[in-house]
Structure 1
Amino acid sequence: MENIEKRNIEILESLIEAGNEDDLHDLLEAMKADEIVHAFSHLNKEQRALLLDLISSENGAKLLELVPQSQAVQTIEEIDNETAASILNELYSDDQVDIIAELDEEDANAILDEMIPAEAENVRKLIGYDSDCAGGLMVTEYLAFEADMTVGQITAELQQKADVYEDYHVQYIYVLEEGRFLGVLQMRDVVLSRGNTKLRSIVNTKAFTVRDSDGLDDLIEFFHKYDFFGVPVVDEQEQLLGLVLRRDVQEAESGRSNYEMLETQGIVGGEELRTMPVLLRSKRRLSWLSVNILLNIIAASVIALYQDTLEQVIALAVFLPVISDMSGCSGNQAVAVSLRELSLGVVKPYELARVLWQEIKVGLINGVVLGILIGIAAFLYQGNGYLGLVVGGALAINTIVAVSIGGTIPLFLKKLNTDPALASGPILTTVTDMLGFFLALTFAGMAMGYLV
């Protein structure tokens, strides 16, 4: 497999260099989706631009649909405006908006000026929506007809404009009453009806809709409840605006989870790929690391205050990192649960007291168990039961505090409209480190006569 992938990259690079359009088309048709993504990611900036210039706009659009969105945006930035516009014209409306929204205003306007006017106007309209609401997720490629039209008229129009509708989502036809959403028809209902049958006589008027302002959580809940392909999007006047597809909501949910996961690991600014500029990747990471190093210095200052104690009971140096790390792990588990519950909507920011009590109960059990385990380890290491009590007691108390903070800090930050995924980790780490060091060294000072 490794040899095949390397060979694909070599062939792709040679065909790009030779400018062989036909063989490039055949190669991309023969490669699997994951092979295309892997090979494309190994091309340099010039090769990517030349590839998209050599292949058709349609194939360029298909390629950009396969690669991660951040890479698609980067690629659009690298090519000329005319080529970028011709490729974007071939994408679905939601993909167009996702890419254009990531560009700076000057580049975005330059590309929009080169796009088909109707496509550009549609993008400008959709880009005003937040990306995580129905309006920002919907596609505008759907079939909609007035209720007084007949099946025969619909069939004739579909045949006459087959080239326009070939990439539309044609499982359903949406029926309108003077522009207002009336209902939905399955394509089979149209096919099996007589040509003179009016749509209003066969339309299902009990179809569900969502508002363009409905958020991602509302859409996730909707598709968990109903096994639909998609759902029509309407405004306050019941005007049909678009269609939200199940797959797009699932992708948005997955993207949000990935974004939150990256933030908890200190990757700020969204998705990071190694094809991105080195300075950009470094800047994103340092923005978190530079703050974290200051917080760690603050935590380490506690040790400096108890330097004399540590010098007399040097064995504590072995267990301080364990106390800090284990408490941090316990706290991060609580953070993860709170972030997940917030994303699912099963807990709200005002429920601090309930979450705190739930975590205290878990913390008491886990703290005692972990305290006993590290206490036994300390006793076996030095043969001193008091050392076991010192480190065991410190870890037990710190674990209770860590899970209490870890469970509640995301809710508190959410209430302050601050991103809980980004800020919870550094706050938790600093507090648990400082408290863990403080407790262990304070207990050691109190029991100094039994430790040396």
Structure 2
Amino acid sequence: MNETQTPPMESGDLSQRIKDAVGAGDAERLAGLLDPLPSSEALRELLMLVPDERDRVLELVPVELAAELVEEAPNEMAVELVERLEPERAAEILEELVSDIQADVIGELDEEDAEAILSEMDEQEAADVRRLSTYADDTAGGLMMSEVFRFTDTQTVGKVLRELAAEDEDFEQYRGQHPCIVDQNNRPVGVVSLRGLLTAKRSELLTSIMVPPLTVPVDMPLEQLEDIFDENPFLSVPVVDADGVLVGVVMRSAFTDALLERSESESLKRQGVVGDELRSMPLWLRSRRRLAWLAANIVLNIIAASVISAYEETLAAVIALAIFLPMVSDMSGCSGNQAVGVTMRELSLGLVRPIDAFRVWVKEVSVGVINGIALGILIGLVAWLWKGNPALGIVIGLALALNTVLAVSIGGVVPLMLKRMGQDPAAASGPLLTTITDMAGFFFVLSLATLMMPWLIS
């Protein structure tokens, strides 16, 4: 017996074997290399390939495996993978996915590509995808799937159990859903638990063991869905249209993914990254997206720097000011970012609207005055003790106090103003706040220093 153990396959070896299998068009070998991998690792190997090789992989591997790879990919990458395929193959892959993911992908394609793929899909499935893709992404309609675990109010427990036993594989897609009971007009009248089905008499009607359903409208926003899932232990919630007809179900997992995606998107936007950027995307696309934000920041920084230029003589006379300029602008920026964060949170929860700008401003000014005085005294004492000049402490402390009030005022209100103008507050608030607090901080320090020059240089 050979007791020598086969060493684990190195990542580089695996990548090369995948490339070799793609080059040889060996579908069986390719599936054997990718299928045993976790979905995330298989996607990583796919994205290590050049676009033409990725296309070939999705054409060669079994359609179920191709669908897993598309499902694992971020939405923008999933769209790119699908749109490069022939419509017939793209349709085969999408038909393996649940309807909400199908709609996400189809909704991002241009109309011609989308229709080419939909024309190759099952007629009813294509109609469902068209309907789902019309809903906004951050609503119940945009998050729901059309596959609903439903029975009619005329069925008995025994009939339902026989259906479950006979069509076990078909019902696998409803995992995580409680059976929804509908009337003859397809309006929800109740839900039952699987445990209730198993313990009830076979002759009983479903209506005798059901409980009233909790449904949500298709246009319910993500913030209100968050309240529903926070207050109830449901794994899914039925969705109804304006007429009360059952049209889908929102899974808790889809809702959680949407919250995470929004959080990640807002975080990336604050850093100047637009969209689902991955390093496997085309070089020029990634460069163009980043440059659009960076170029705007050059202009904003030139404006801030121009303030320093206007006070060159003051800065040259009191060189110690240069030490405290970045402190004043940075600490004020931190205060402003706190205000931005609170406003963004309240916007996402629906607790404030652009019309509330004045109320938000008043509340932020109140906090800014208290924090500005406290921070101003602290840094003023530091400047005085460090440089031995009380006038310097007054200049720096007063400048920080004033700039803190300004920063929180701007941080609290700017997202609301941007929202009213139809701009993305998550992407634009940060750069505007940074520029204004830098410019104002420099102005407060240098103008106050100019006024107190006799005491600063004495």
Q: Same fold (TM over 0.5)?
A: yes
2:290 pairs with 1:285 = yes
Deviates more, 1:365-374 or 1:235-244: 365-374
2:195 to 185, 188, 192: 188
Distance 1:441 1:448 in 2: 10
Which residue of 1 is the match for residue 452 of structure 2?
A: 447
Does the 8 Å CA contact 2:148/2:174 hold for their aligned counterparts?
A: yes
1:132-281 correspondence to structure 2 within 5 Å: 132-169=138-175, 171-178=177-184, 179-204=186-211, 206-268=212-274, 270-281=275-286
Which residue of 1 is the match for residue 109 of structure 2?
A: 103
- How many residues are matched? 449
Distance 1:3 1:144 in 2: 47
Partner secondary structure for residue 256 of structure 2: helix
Does the 8 Å CA contact 2:180/2:191 hold for their aligned counterparts?
A: yes
Which residue of 2 is the match for residue 114 of structure 1?
A: 120
Distance 1:374 1:40 in 2: 54
> Residues 22 and 301 of structure 1: is their aligned pair in 2 closer, same or farther, counting only changes over 3 Å?
same
Distance 1:14 1:433 in 2: 55
Which residue of 1 is the match for residue 321 of structure 2?
A: 316
1:333-412 correspondence to structure 2 within 5 Å: 333-379=338-384, 382-412=387-417
Does the 8 Å CA contact 1:137/1:244 hold for their aligned counterparts?
A: yes
Deviations 1:290-339 (A, max 9, x none): 22222222222222322332333333233323322222222112211221
Distance 2:160 2:443 in 1: 76
1:221 offset after TM fit, Å? 0.9
Does the 8 Å CA contact 1:406/1:428 hold for their aligned counterparts?
A: yes
Deviates more, 1:338-347 or 1:366-375: 366-375
Distance 2:401 2:188 in 1: 61
Distance 1:157 1:52 in 2: 35
Deviations 1:16-75 (A, max 9, x none): 333333333333332223322332332221221111111111111112222222221121
Deviates more, 1:73-82 or 1:190-199: 190-199
Does the 8 Å CA contact 2:176/2:236 hold for their aligned counterparts?
A: no
1:239 offset after TM fit, Å? 0.9
Deviations 1:334-386 (A, max 9, x none): 21122122223344444434433443343334333433444355446644332
Deviations 1:191-238 (A, max 9, x none): 44444433333332x111111111111111110111101011111222
Q: Which segments of structure 1 move beyond 6 Å, counting only runs of 4 or more?
A: none
Does the 8 Å CA contact 1:387/1:451 hold for their aligned counterparts?
A: yes
Which residue of 2 is the match for residue 80 of structure 1?
A: 86
1:301 to 301, 306, 311: 306
Which residue of 1 is the match for residue 46 of structure 2?
A: 40
Which residue of 2 is the match for residue 329 of structure 1?
A: 334
Does the 8 Å CA contact 2:407/2:437 hold for their aligned counterparts?
A: yes
Deviates more, 1:51-60 or 1:191-200: 191-200
Distance 1:21 1:193 in 2: 50
> Residues 3 and 373 of structure 1: is their aligned pair in 2 closer, same or farther, counting only changes over 3 Å?
farther
Distance 2:39 2:91 in 1: 23
1:145 offset after TM fit, Å? 2.3
1:54 to 46, 55, 60: 60
Distance 1:407 1:7 in 2: 53
* Residue segments in structure 2 that go unaligned for 5+ positions in a row: 1-7
1:154 offset after TM fit, Å? 3.2
Distance 1:389 1:11 in 2: 69
1:397 offset after TM fit, Å? 1.4
Q: Percent identity?
A: 46
Distance 2:330 2:147 in 1: 52
Distance 2:154 2:415 in 1: 53
Root-mean-square deviation (Å): 2.4
Deviates more, 1:432-441 or 1:222-231: 432-441
Distance 2:424 2:97 in 1: 32
Partner secondary structure for residue 35 of structure 2: helix
Distance 1:3 1:199 in 2: 54
- Paired residue type of 1:12: I
Which residue of 2 is the match for residue 419 of structure 1?
A: 424
Distance 2:48 2:315 in 1: 52
- Paired residue type of 1:246: R
1:85 offset after TM fit, Å? 1.0
Partner secondary structure for residue 318 of structure 1: helix
Does the 8 Å CA contact 2:79/2:108 hold for their aligned counterparts?
A: yes
> Residues 248 and 170 of structure 1: is their aligned pair in 2 closer, same or farther, counting only changes over 3 Å?
closer
Partner secondary structure for residue 149 of structure 2: strand
Which residue of 2 is the match for residue 28 of structure 1?
A: 34
> Residues 322 and 171 of structure 1: is their aligned pair in 2 closer, same or farther, counting only changes over 3 Å?
closer
TM-score normalised by length of structure 2? 0.90
Distance 1:303 1:326 in 2: 18
1:415 offset after TM fit, Å? 4.1
1:408 offset after TM fit, Å? 2.4
Deviations 1:146-190 (A, max 9, x none): 211333443444455444433233742221111222111223333
1:393 offset after TM fit, Å? 2.0
